[in-house]
Each structure stands twice: as C-alpha cells, then as structure tokens.
Structure 1
Amino acid sequence: MPQKTLAETLAARETLHINCSHPMCCKSTRLDIAALIDRLGPDHGSMHQDLVGLFGCSDCKAAGRDRRPVFFTFVPDYRGQDEARTKRVPKPTFDRA
C-alpha cells in the first residue's frame, strides 16, 4: 500500500512539479494530477519512488544528453490552509465606549 495516493494528493489540493536534475537543463514542469489519475488510477502512489520510473526529461532526450534522474516537489495548498486557519480564529472587535 502506498504511503500517499494520487487521489489523496488531489484531495489535499497539492501542486506537484517534476524537475530534471541535469545541470544543463534543470527544467521544471507542473504535473496535472487529474490526468495522472486518469492514466494510472486513483490508488497509484504519489511518492517519489512510485513516480520516478515513469518520467524522463524530454528536453534532455531531444538534446542527446545522458539520462539523469528526475525529482518531485510537492507544494501544499497554502491558501486553503490560511483560509481554514483564519475561519477558526474569532476576529477581534473594537468597540468604542
């Protein structure tokens, strides 16, 4: 059982980026998690070890560079977390006497 699935990543509204580790490239691309779910299924893992074998850098391949590993960056939904946090905290009122 994977530690975290693609469905959980989508539900958490996280953003997933794939990054090339070749020093001449360093390309970064945002992945469409919904498209990954359509292709791989909602129960497929979203951790590095679950996805690393599926991706390679197309720019490096076209340029004839040696294949380097890719790595992933997950960015949490900070806006959603901030909204949830501020809704729980009562807003102060300042009454003038």
Structure 2
Amino acid sequence: MPQKTLADTLAANESLYVNCSHPMCCKSTKLDIRALIDRLGPDHGSMHWDLVGLFACSGCKAAGRDRRQVFFTCIPDYEGQQRARNRDWKPTFQRRS
C-alpha cells in the first residue's frame, strides 16, 4: 500500500511538479493530478518512487542529451491551510494597559 496516493494529493489540493535533473535543462512542468488519476487510478502512489519510472524529459530527448532521473516537487495548499486556520479567528480590539 502506498504511503500517499494520487487521490490523497488531489484531496489535499497540492500541486505536483516534475523536474528534469540535467544541468543543461532543468525544465519543470506542473502535473495534472486528475489526468494522472484517469490514467493510473486513484490508488496509485504519488510519492517519488511511485512516479519516477513514468516520466522522462522530452526536451533532453529532443536535444540528444543523456537521460537523467527526474525528481518531484510537492507544494502544499498553503492558502487553504491558512483559511482553515483562521476560520474561527475573531479580532479583539482591546487596548493594552
């Protein structure tokens, strides 16, 4: 069982980027989580080792560079977390003594 699935990533509203590790390229592309779920299923893992074999850099292939391993960047939904944290917050306008 994967630690974290694509469905978990989608539910958390996280952004997932795939990055080329070739120093002449360093291309980064945002992944469409819904399209990955349609192709791989919602229970497919979303961690590095679950996805690394599925991606290669098309820019490096077109340029004839050697294939390097890709890596992933997961960006949490900071705005949603902030909204949830401040949902019940009420300002107080008391003067300090």
Q: Tell me the equivalent position of 1:46.
A: 46
* Structure 1 position 10, deviation (Å): 0.1
- Aligned Cα RMSD in Å? 1.2
* Structure 1 position 84, deviation (Å): 0.6
Runs of 4+ in 1 over 4 A off after TM superposition: none
Aligned partners of 2:70, 2:12: CA distance in 1, in Å? 23
Q: Tell me the equivalent position of 2:28.
A: 28
* Structure 1 position 90, deviation (Å): 2.5
TM normalised by structure 2 equals: 0.94
* Structure 1 position 89, deviation (Å): 2.2
The one-character-per-residue Cα deviations of 1:20-73 (angstroms, maximum 9, x if unpaired) are 000000000000000000000000000000000000000000000000000000
Identity among equivalent pairs (%): 73
Q: Tell me the equivalent position of 2:85.
A: 85
2:70 aligned partner, one-letter code: V
Residue 61 of structure 1 aligns to a residue whose secondary structure is: helix
Aligned partners of 2:38, 2:93: CA distance in 1, in Å? 48
* Structure 1 position 94, deviation (Å): 5.2
2:6 aligned partner, one-letter code: L
Aligned partners of 1:36, 1:16: CA distance in 2, in Å? 11
Q: Tell me the equivalent position of 1:11.
A: 11
Task: Mark the runs of 5 or more structure 1 residues left unpaired by the alignment.
Answer: none
Q: How many residues align?
A: 95
Aligned partners of 2:57, 2:91: CA distance in 1, in Å? 48
TM normalised by structure 1 equals: 0.94
